[in-house]
Amino acid sequence: MTWDAIVIGAGHNGLIAAARLGQAGKRVLVLEAREAPGGLMAARGGMTVAMLPTALNADVARALDLHRHGLSYGAPVATLALGAGGAVRISGREASGAGKAVAVAYGALHDRLTRQAAALGRMLMKTPPRLRDGGAGDLIALARMGLGIRLLGKDEMRDLLRILLSNIWDVLNDEIGDGPLAAALAMEATLGGAMGPRSPGTVLPLLYRMAGRGRLRALGGPDAVIAALVRAVGAGGGAIRTGAEVARILVGEDDRAGGVRLTTGEEIRAPLILSNAHPRRTLNDLLGVAHLDAEDARRARLMASTGMVARLDFALSGAPVADGGMAIPSGERLIVAGNMAALETAFNAAKYKEIPDRPVLECTYEAGRGLLSVNAQFVPCEVKGGWTDKARATLEGNVRAVLAGAMPGFQAMIAGVETLTPADIEARFGLPGGHWHHGEFRVDQMLMMRPFGGAAQYRMPVAGLYLCGAGAHPGGDITGVPGWNAAGQALKDGRAAK
């Protein structure tokens, strides 16, 4: 069997890249180290790390015809920000339960940020332009973004440029004041990364998340997304091999990537390799520093990638009720933080490698399975004293206490708990820092700087090797865009070489 391309890792981006290559007539082999495809979305063999696939890019889903492969979409998920004495329900520009003045201010802020995000929007989804040695197309792409920003009008352009590198703490305090609503938005700006609301550059991630024009919420959760993507790969003639862990990317005499070696010693050849692994793992471990210039090896080594999210699943014996008496609705997104100050306090502890007393939580409750899934934010991957049983118990206890504060009677309902610390995620998925986004999502690691300067545009230093995971532009959040764009870039380069 000969292959036109190998994709390392059957996470959603790897599957999307494989499906796009398949559509273009390439024979693709996807190699997955674990027992089931899906990466952080895989449910089999453990709990799903990525539990809320609500950001799938509509253009990608349409191009891959995922509907035909069995995926259906629901209304955008609403967010409930739980606070003392009640909840704020956020859906688009509406915020009910926040008080009238705050709701009005939020509506205006939402509209403005949405316009500003749209001005950046095209840029946030396309292959980023090269700043150095770029061609005419790169200049046009830059000019187009500049024009988009200029067309916002003088005041809004000025406002965008003012807040772009600013921190979400200042922006939200200026516009809506601190509280459960601000906490939910600040959570959106910092989720998955090692930045608190006061860290500079936290506005850009929020704009990025708002810019995903046509973000689809897949019905059926992570399982349904992966099942549809697996079918899409199959429809393109691609094959997926699970339990096949890549040990090395092989580089030929011609200095091109020419295949992979598995941990079993088996070698598989293909002229095109796409890696859905973390950039550091792809370059310094799989490719090997011997094939890299010292500068790239250093950038991969030092790129910020500190995971800060622990995953906990609580099996419940009853239906949880929020403080104030509201039953927790099934399938919606809950933010348990209280206010932005709580986020910053939790982040402070994590900075010093401590487990925060009160982690801030993103949760979702599934009534059918009696399961409350929790992302506990600002839990450091590397904790002082290591992840001992005591440390795990502390984490679980702290999360339970936060939940019990927002949902009276919660403690008594717990029938079981399963925990993945960031260190567990790192070990289980070969993901440096246990970082969801394969690298910190901050301004010096975004756009043409993602994963680091000189390595954007999906091409890796060795010809024939591409990065197709969340470490590539535009980044994490299960949009599928990195995988889609990487495959596109590889196909374009292949045509150019002919």
Partner 1 sequence: MSAAKNLRQPMAMGVVPGPFHDRIAPLNHRQGWMNWMGIAAPTVLDTVEFEYFAIRNQATVFDISPMMKYRISGPDAETVVNRLVTRDIRKVGPGRVTYAIWCDEDGNVVDDGTIFRFADGTFRLCCQEPQMAWLMDVAHGFDVSLADESADVAGLAVQGPTSCAVLKDMGLAGVEAMKPFDIREFRVKSKPVTVSRTGFTGDLGYELWMAPDDALTIWDHLMAAGHLRGVKVIGYEALEMARIEAGFLLPRVDFVSSQTHLRPGRARNPYELGLDRLVHLDKPHFNGRRALQRLSQTRPARKLVTLEISRDKPAHHAYVYHRGKKEVGFVTSALWSPTLKRNIAYAWVDAPYCFDGKDLSVEIYLQRELVWQRRMARAQIVDRGLFANPRRTATPPSDY
The span of 96-104, 231-239, 283-291, 375-383 binding partner 1 (CB under 8 A) equals 283-291
The two beta strands, 5-8 and 273-275, are parallel
Q: Are 476 and 450 in contact (CB under 8 A)?
A: no
Which one of residues 10, 87, 297, 340 is an interface residue with partner 1 (CB under 8 A)? 297
3-state secondary structure of 91: strand
The span of 12-20, 297-305, 405-413, 419-427 binding partner 1 (CB under 8 A) equals 297-305
Shortest CB 254 distance to partner 1, Å = 11
The span of 19-27, 138-146, 291-299, 356-364 binding partner 1 (CB under 8 A) equals 291-299
Which one of residues 1, 75, 290, 497 is an interface residue with partner 1 (CB under 8 A)? 290
Shortest CB 285 distance to partner 1, Å = 10
Answer yes or no whether residue 94 interacts with partner 1 by CB under 8 A: no
Cβ atoms < 10 Å from Cβ of 412: 10
Shortest CB 290 distance to partner 1, Å = 6
Answer yes or no whether residue 134 interacts with partner 1 by CB under 8 A: no
Query: What residues have CB less than 8 Å from 249, skipping those under 6 apart?
Result: 8, 257, 259, 260, 273, 275, 282, 286, 287, 288, 462, 465
Q: Which is nearer to partner 1, 257 or 342 (CB)?
A: 257
Place of tokens 């003392």: 84
Shortest CB 140 distance to partner 1, Å = 22
- Residue 409: exposed, middle, or buried by beta-carbon count in 10 A (0-12, 13-18, 19+)? exposed
Answer yes or no whether residue 252 interacts with partner 1 by CB under 8 A: no
Answer yes or no whether residue 267 interacts with partner 1 by CB under 8 A: no
Binding residue count for partner 1, defined by CB under 8 A: 16
Q: Which is nearer to partner 1, 290 or 497 (CB)?
A: 290
Which one of residues 301, 369, 390, 492 is an interface residue with partner 1 (CB under 8 A)? 301
Which one of residues 122, 217, 248, 291 is an interface residue with partner 1 (CB under 8 A)? 291
Which one of residues 1, 75, 136, 294 is an interface residue with partner 1 (CB under 8 A)? 294
Answer yes or no whether residue 293 interacts with partner 1 by CB under 8 A: yes
> CA-CA distance, 364 to 332, in Å (whole number)?
6
- What is the footprint of partner 1 within residues 415-454 (CB under 8 A)? 454
> CA-CA distance, 381 to 68, in Å (whole number)?
40
Answer yes or no whether residue 122 interacts with partner 1 by CB under 8 A: no
Q: Are 180 and 338 in contact (CB under 8 A)?
A: yes
Answer yes or no whether residue 298 interacts with partner 1 by CB under 8 A: yes
Q: Which is nearer to partner 1, 289 or 304 (CB)?
A: 289
Q: Are 195 and 347 in contact (CB under 8 A)?
A: yes
The structure tokens listed for 467 are 């990065």
The span of 46-54, 78-86, 177-185, 287-295 binding partner 1 (CB under 8 A) equals 287-295
Answer yes or no whether residue 4 interacts with partner 1 by CB under 8 A: no
Beta bridge partners of 418: 313
The span of 18-26, 177-185, 286-294, 383-391 binding partner 1 (CB under 8 A) equals 286-294
Answer yes or no whether residue 261 interacts with partner 1 by CB under 8 A: no
Answer yes or no whether residue 255 interacts with partner 1 by CB under 8 A: yes
Q: Are 191 and 50 in contact (CB under 8 A)?
A: no
The two beta strands, 5-8 and 28-31, are parallel
The structure tokens listed for 272 are 């095109």
3-state secondary structure of 294: helix
Give the dihedral of Cα atoms 175, 333, 228, 16; nearest 10 deg.
40
The structure tokens listed for 374 are 């929790």
- 466: amino acid identity, one letter: Y
Beta bridge partners of 29: 6, 239
- Contact footprint for partner 1 (CB under 8 A): 255, 284, 288-298, 301, 454, 461
